[in-house]
Chain A
Amino acid sequence: MTQATPDTKDTKDTKDTQDAGRAGAPDSASSIYDLGYRRYEGERLGRRHAISALYVESLRGAFGLGRSAGAKVAPAVLIGIALFPAVVQLLIGALVPGDAELILASEYYGIITYVLALYAAAVAPDIAGRDQRNRSLTLYFSRAISRTDYALGKLGAMVTAMLMITLLPQVLLFVGNALSTQDFGGYLAEEWDLVAPIIGSAVLGSLLIASIGVLVAAQMPHRAFATVGIIVAFILPVVIAGIMVNEIDTAATRYAIFLSPLDLVEGATAWIFRVEPDAFATPGRAGHALWLYAVASVAWTAVASALLVRRYRTVQA
């Protein structure tokens, strides 16, 4: 009975059989198993395109683009809060004649450190962890990208998302200050040497905060716990380092600042701008050489990125 079926079908599906058998001798018995699935005939875009698609879609997801209005609220509000000091400075610049620069580019991250941590906590669980939540990681890993590509694509998206909140206020401040002076071109010529430190500090800080944020988010698929985890990972060290540096204040405990990413960002920024850090802030009180903060930032970024890559190597898809 089972033998009879192929024979009767064979006459009907002659064309299919011939197509299927183009590799060699036609195998008539296989024709019944040809369910007529379509093959993909289009261009195969390959690994690089897969990575860039992952990057772009992760970045869009971070800002809630293509998602519900609720997903857009948190990043938009936090970027708004981060822009607030720049707006205040521009208003003062517009209302008070003369050079009244209250808020300097070199001190900006010191003012908005908490906002940076909250933003990372809001955005990173959308970038990493979402695919584990939806059990779709296995679909990614069965495509052209490798696990390392996936980790680096996610990290790249997070760094770009961080740059939105680190760079945007600085650009607004710089352009606004230039516009509020009478001599736009003169201001640009005079302050041009600020551009490199602004970009450098934004990139350094974004890399550090992004790598730690994504690393924590990748460990905790549960969204709410990832958010709590990232906030704790950034704010708890700030409080502990603050107490160990400012209150306990011995030579040994002053090294606690190197465990606090947000204080490192502040210290490294001061080094990049070649200014002294705020004497009342933890980096100013700790009194280490400023270049150490930049080195520590790079070191933490490297460690966190390596751990992230390792996490995605071993995570069950």
Chain B
Amino acid sequence: MTRVILGLSLRQLVAQRRTLLLVLLAALPVALAVLFRVTGGSLEENPDFAAGIMAHFIVALVLPLTALVVGTAALGQELEDGTIVYLVAKPLPRWQVVLAKIGAAWIVTATLIASSVLLVGLVLFVGQEGASQVPAFMVAVVLGALGYTALFVALSIRFSRALIIGLAYVFVWESLLSQFIAGVRFLSVGSYTVSIADALADSPSRLVDGALSGVNAAVLLAALTALATWYAMRRLAAYQISERV
């Protein structure tokens, strides 16, 4: 039954028109990487380019935006349309509904972003050395996507304006305040993602400034994911089926 809901949710998420926009967004870093190679750029002269495009474009912008749009739609749209009733009225523990929804949002987000990273890596590193950061970033964005989607699914159950609140979290908290307050990186999924990539990459120097240690980032990310999932399950378990269908 859970697998049915998972499949159904995946179909809902992929069939939306905005998914096409998300694909275009994920294709932009690849286009820039192609442009870099076409104009004769090489990683020997500009060794930070790959890590820069992955950390500052894909992880900082494309990943949170995709997770936000997909994550708030996965369960939030059912709540908004009232179709959640047909899910929670099934003889199925509600926590399984939450898991299926987070799973579907995660699969869509992770697939999009990981392929973007992979294609950027292929374009940049063919015939070059130091490609170890590509699998490192792929693992990191898949884990980061889980953290983001769990967070945004939980937000969408709690708030009807989850998209706006998630946007404020990504752009005010993660992007803006982290420039002024260094401690924000301890509470930022984007920073966990970059730190995990940094720890996994077989690179002599740090890929990005101010990364956490890999263990810290992984533990914090796991804790945040578990907390968000638990909260989402609790909220949905307490959800009252109202008269309005």
Contacts and interface: CB of A to CB of B under 8 A. Distances in A.
Interface of A: 74, 77, 81, 84, 114-115, 118, 121, 223-225, 227-228, 231-232, 235-236, 239-240, 242-244, 247-250, 252-253
A118 B174 CA distance: 13
B176 A81 contact: yes
Contact of A228 (B35, B41, B65, B172): B65
B171 A243 contact: no
Contacts of A236: 25, 28, 61
Nearest to A125: B164
Interface residues of B, number: 29
DSSP class of B's interface residues: helix, strand, loop or mixed?
A: helix
13 contacts: A77-B172, A114-B175, A118-B171, A118-B176, A224-B163, A224-B164, A224-B167, A227-B164, A228-B65, A236-B25, A242-B56, A243-B52, A250-B39
Nearest to A118: B171
Contacts of B167: 121, 224, 227-228, 231
Nearest to B175: A114
B69 interface: yes
Given A244-B32, A248-B32, 19 more contacts: A114-B176, A118-B176, A121-B167, A224-B161, A224-B164, A228-B65, A228-B163, A232-B65, A235-B171, A236-B25, A239-B61, A243-B57, A247-B46, A248-B36, A248-B39, A248-B41, A249-B41, A250-B39, A252-B39
Contacts, number: 66
A247 B52 contact: yes
B35 A244 contact: yes
A235 B61 contact: yes
Contacts of A247: 36, 41, 46, 49, 52-53
Interface string B21-45: 0000100100010011001110000
B240 to A, nearest CB: 23
A224 B159 CA distance: 13
Contacts of A249: 41
Contact of B171 (A114, A252, A253): A114
